[in-house]
Chains A and B, each alone.
Chain A
Amino acid sequence: MADDPVIVARGLRKSYGRGRVLDQLDLTVHAGAAIGLLGANGAGKTTLLKTLLGLIPLDGGRTTVFGQPSSALPPEVRQRLGYVPQTPAQFSWLTGRAMLRYVSRFYPTFDWDYVHSLSTRWKLSLRTPIGVLSPGQQQRLSIVRALATRPGILILDEPIASLDPATRIAVIDELTAERARRPLTLIFSSHLIGDLERLCSQLAVLSAGRIAVLEEVQWFRGLVRARLEADEGLLAGVSVPSAAMTRKSGEGRRVVLLERAIADRLRATLPTSVNITIDQPDLESAASEWMS
């Protein structure tokens, strides 16, 4: 069932010292979804992804993967999980081949044919010590390692930040092809919105410890940005109920993201003393508004 939730997070809370990173966060990921996770530096993307995998203890809330609590996932659920961490240098004291052989001991379904196919296409040397590979090569190896376990859910934490454009495209293409070949749910954290746009069907923005918005990529593309300028007292009385997002950008200034049709209606109904300009933001600008 494509609509079955495979990951459910409810009321997640996590703090580091006095800084609260996740604050009553809710998230539902359905089978087959490809979610691009966006957020400012330090917003808690890595923490959220680790929390979903049960790798760090929570201060509150609960997460389940395939209905099982993340803190105690049974082997049959772990078999279906793949994870590419943010840090590319993993097992740096081993060669690529030794690392893959080592990891394969923990996975009954490790796919060596796929490893050979990918390493050939991505020009990966498996005989070189991982510690002396470039960060980009290390990251490619990490992705190969995760894909070779044939996961049903693949969680990637900024996996392509250190890759050159050609390799980034190759990775995106491979992930897209994998999704076409078999059921694969993706959660992909990145700051590169162009890549997320190519790969993901949905975008989620993490802000102030919560998922501020989780919508289809098309929905983001359809938004327009209205900038309102007027006396602060007057603007305080203006409300846009159907707005996707409203932000105070200064004294007497508001930025509102909303659908084109609603923006036109808003322009018609606003008092003339309110100056309104409407533009069409690109996907990156639109998503960034939630992070401002």
Chain B
Amino acid sequence: MCGIVGLFLKDRRLDSSLGSLLSDMLVTMSDRGPDSAGIAVYGKPTLGQIKVTVQSPQAEQDLRSLAGDLEKAGLKSSVEIKNTHAVIDTTADLAMVRVFLASRYPQVRIMSAGESIEIYKEIGLPKSVVDRFGIRQVSGTHGIGHTRMATESAVTTLGAHPFSTGLDQCLVHNGSLSNHNNLRRELVGEGIAFETENDTEVAAAYLTAEMAKGKNLREALAGALDDLDGFFTFVVGTKSGFGVLRDPIACKPAIMAETDSYVAFGSEYRVLVGLPDIERARVWEPEPATVYFWDHAAAA
């Protein structure tokens, strides 16, 4: 099944509420996906710094020495441990940080990298996921959450959504792709590495690969309608933006609400009922095979 929630704030005064609004929305979707949950939040970037969110099953032990080791390797960083995850804030070159992690901390998985994005995902109920990572206290400009009911691959931390295959990019998915194995083979041939058997990871990698070839997100999503087989409602996050796409048959639900202060997405209407001023929001269902996109940069 799976449940998706998304919130793109237009009014900067709501930024400090992003985490708590998204948390309530996500917990409402627990019935749709009790296996695992994940959330991507886009916070204020710091000039010259990259954030890498990592995960390790025993984060407290594994990551205690991380900040010191990074410093010794000449990669100046601060590390904030949040339960099984940690956020590495660094002024060092990202490629070097990746090499360092792969060689010195191979058991640690990279959840996301970028100037704004942090991704937290774990197995367990949405309520436990938002609690253990302190999501309610997080502030930011936009965010996406997902509750998983695994269908195509196993219930694991890495199998949870959102998937991030590019800087500040992430994707969540309700549905199931049928040509993901074939597409994965093609993308591997183009040099892309995969970490899971998950169909959604393939969709995320596909979009990243298309954008790396020069397409913008809107064009990449439009291409997905031709190249992806299966059913999907996608919500995509980028550094300054938020996109929605449903396949042409559009069996998987999707509902949106817009006011002057925000654009919100939910798999079900009850996700939206707690949002400010929802009685006066424009509420609609996105049309099938149509790319919807909102961008802070464009609005500025």
Pairing of A with B: no
